[in-house]
């Protein structure tokens, strides 16, 4: 039996049982009904008995007891009188009351059904956390799988397999701090960590630092280069690190060498080639106007967005704005008047807004949009974007937390 049909069976049974309970008493002959006065009499007799008890205990003065006795006696007489007069006022009620009660019961229950069908989700299964974690693999429940691995690792933090599974999962979920930590653990637990591991760890660090290449990453890339001399990824990032540190000559040399070593079919070649060309221009390897060269050199510095090129991204050329496109735009902006620049920024923001309307699942897009709106002074629009983003990520606590953090930074009401 499916869960849903079991649900209908149970609710149906419940309904019938309730109706039976409510209506069964109608089928029985009513028991003897006592007049109100008889209940009163019982109470007054009780009071009289208590009074005698209290008198015997000395809790009440004899004089007061006498007065109270008289009073209760008066009540008893009155009640007795009422009882005699009452005849039988109470009627058991005939067939009419059976019909009336039945109609009321069935009507109310029908009302309940129509309400539930509107408000409830008939037959929808429960989702207790334990069971969800247990069935994670079967249900392809990515988040639950991650959580299960985490739980395992909490008990046994030296389980390499778990960290190895978690690290890329974290990267995919955008939890970069966790990803960095996971790669670090992997390296700690592997006997002879390979160059790939060091590269992966370092690249996670770079992504976590939003494109800046921190010292720890430089160290790891160098280590990878030691282990696998000549591997393009380490070389590329080390060149970028030089560039970020202002050692443009060194960066140029390394990139040029890398370009020469790369086989022609590698897609990333084109990008690197462009970078080499631009650096060459900036360094005056080919004649170029000084002003532009300066701009380009600055453009080579890290931007605050996370649009730094990564080897993987380069390999997936075509997805998302390429770093070069960004640089091109920035370069163009330098040459504009303030009004034009503003215009262009607004166009970009509106474009982003439009894109998010079509595809609201891009968290970093939302974060950028909200920040841009706030920086442009369009606080209302920023708030609206925040609200929309919250809606889009309702039920995803990680995303919501990032949105909230941003809202806090920008001092937007939550």
Partner 1 sequence: MIIELGHFALVLALAVALYQTVVPLYGAHRNDARLMALAVPAAFVQFLLVSFAFAALVHAYVHSDFSVLNVWQNSHSAKPFIYKITGTWANHEGSMLLWVFILSLFTLAVAAFSGNLPLSLKARVLGVQGSISSAFLLYIVTVSSPFVRIPPDRVPLEGQGMNPLLQDPALAMHPPMLYAGYVGFSVAFAFAIAALMEGRVDSAWGRWVRPWTLAAWTFLTAGIALGSWWAYYELGWGGWWFWDPVENASFMPWLAGTALLHSAIVVEKRNALKTWTVLLALIAFSFSLIGTFLVRSGVLSSVHAFAVDPERGTFILAILAFFIGGSLFLYAIRANTLKIEGRFDPISREGALLLNNVLLSAATAAVFIGTLFPLIYEAVTGGGKITVGAPYFNLTFGTLIIPLLVILPVGPLLPWKRGNVKAVLGRLKGALVLTVLAFALSLTLLDASVRAAFGIALGVWVVAGALEEWAGRVMLFRAPLKVVFKRIASMPGSMWAMTLAHAGLGVVVLGIVMSTAWKQERITALQPGGKVQIAGFEVVYKGTRKATGPNYLAEQGLFEIYRDGRKVAEEISEKRTFLGRRGMPTTEVALMHYALGDLYIAIGDQTKMGRTVRVYFQPMIQLLWFGALLMVFGGFIGLLDRRFRVGVAERTESRLVAQPAE
Sign of the CA dihedral running 234, 235, 239, 245: positive
- Candidate list 46, 66, 249, 343; residue touching partner 1; CB under 8 A: 46
Residue of the chain from 5, 16, 25, 408 that contacts partner 1 (CB under 8 A):
25
The footprint of partner 1 on residues 98-117 (CB under 8 A) is 98, 100-101, 104-105, 108-109, 111-112, 115-116
Within 281-340, the residues that bind partner 1 by CB under 8 A are none
Beta carbon nearer to partner 1, 329 or 383: 383
Cβ proximity to partner 1, 93 vs 229, nearer residue: 93
Question: Within 120-156, where are the H helices?
Answer: 129-134, 136-139, 142-155
* 9 touches partner 1 by CB under 8 A: no
Contact 109, 18 (CB under 8 A): yes
What is the footprint of partner 1 within residues 136-195 (CB under 8 A)?
143-144, 147
Query: Using the rule CB under 8 A, which residue among 87, 138, 155, 357 binds partner 1?
Result: 87
Nearer to partner 1, 18 or 330 (CB): 18
Residue 36, interface with partner 1 (CB under 8 A)?
yes
Residue 221 sits at φ, ψ, to 5 deg, of -60, -40
Is position 405 an interface residue for partner 1 (rule: CB under 8 A)? no
Q: Is 29 in the site for partner 1 (CB under 8 A)?
A: yes
Q: How far is the CB of 367 from partner 1 (least distance, A)?
A: 18
Q: Which of 79, 102, 90 is nearest to 31 (CA)?
A: 90
Residue 47 interacts with partner 1 (CB under 8 A): yes or no: yes
Separation between Cα atoms, residue 153 and residue 334, nearest integer Å: 50
Residues 6+ apart with CB under 8 A from 128: none
Q: Do 142 and 169 contact (CB within 8 A), yes or no? A: yes
Q: Select the residue interacting with partner 1 from 52, 125, 194, 408 (CB under 8 A).
A: 125
Q: How many residues bind partner 1 (CB under 8 A)?
A: 89
Contact 54, 60 (CB under 8 A): yes
- The tokens for 63 are 């004089």
Between 35 and 372, name the residue whose CB sits nearer to partner 1: 35
CA angle centred on 302, ends 298 and 305, rounded to 5° = 125
């Amino acid at each position: 039996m499916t869960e849903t049909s079991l649900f209908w069976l149970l609710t149906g049974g419940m309904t019938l049982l309730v109706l039976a309970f409510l209506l069964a008493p109608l089928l029985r002959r009513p028991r003897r009904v006592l007049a109100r006065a008889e209940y009163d009499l019982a109470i007054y007799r009780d009071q009289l008995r208590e009074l005698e008890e209290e008198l015997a205990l000395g809790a009440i003065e004899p004089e007061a007891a006498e007065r109270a006795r008289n009073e209760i006696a008066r009540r008893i007489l009155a009640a007795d009188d009422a009882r005699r007069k009452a005849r039988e006022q109470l009627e058991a009620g005939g067939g009419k009351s059976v019909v009336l009660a039945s109609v009321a019961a069935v009507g109310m229950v029908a009302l309940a059904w129509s309400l539930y069908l509107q408000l409830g989700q008939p037959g929808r299964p429960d989702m207790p956390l334990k069971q969800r974690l247990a069935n994670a693999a079967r249900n392809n429940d990515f988040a639950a799988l991650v959580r299960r691995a985490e739980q395992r690792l909490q008990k046994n933090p030296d389980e390499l397999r778990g960290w190895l599974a978690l690290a890329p999962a974290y990267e995919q979920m955008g939890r970069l701090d966790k990803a960095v930590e996971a790669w670090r653990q992997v390296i700690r637990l592997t006997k002879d960590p390979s160059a790939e591991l060091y590269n992966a760890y370092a690249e996670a660090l770079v992504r976590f630092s939003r494109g800046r290449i921190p010292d720890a990453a430089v160290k790891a890339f160098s280590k990878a280069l030691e282990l696998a001399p000549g591997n393009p990824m380490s070389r590329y990032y080390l060149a970028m690190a030089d560039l970020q540190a202002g050692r443009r000559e060194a960066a140029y040399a390394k990139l040029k060498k890398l370009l020469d070593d790369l086989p022609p079919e590698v897609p990333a070649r084109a990008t690197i080639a462009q970078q080499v060309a631009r650096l060459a221009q900036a360094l005056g390897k080919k004649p170029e106007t000084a002003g532009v060269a300066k701009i380009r050199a600055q453009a080579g510095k890290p931007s605050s967005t996370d649009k730094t090129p990564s080897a993987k991204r380069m390999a997936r050329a075509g997805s998302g704005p390429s770093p070069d496109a960004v640089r091109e735009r920035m370069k163009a902006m330098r040459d504009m008047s303030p009004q034009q620049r503003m215009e262009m920024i607004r166009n970009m923001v509106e474009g982003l807004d439009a894109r998010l309307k079509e595809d609201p699942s891009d968290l970093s897009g939302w974060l950028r949009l909200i920040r841009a709106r706030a920086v442009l002074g369009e606080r209302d629009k920023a708030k609206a974007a925040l609200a929309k983003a919250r809606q889009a990520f309702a039920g995803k606590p990680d995303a919501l937390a990032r949105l909230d953090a941003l809202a806090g930074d920008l001092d937007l009401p939550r």
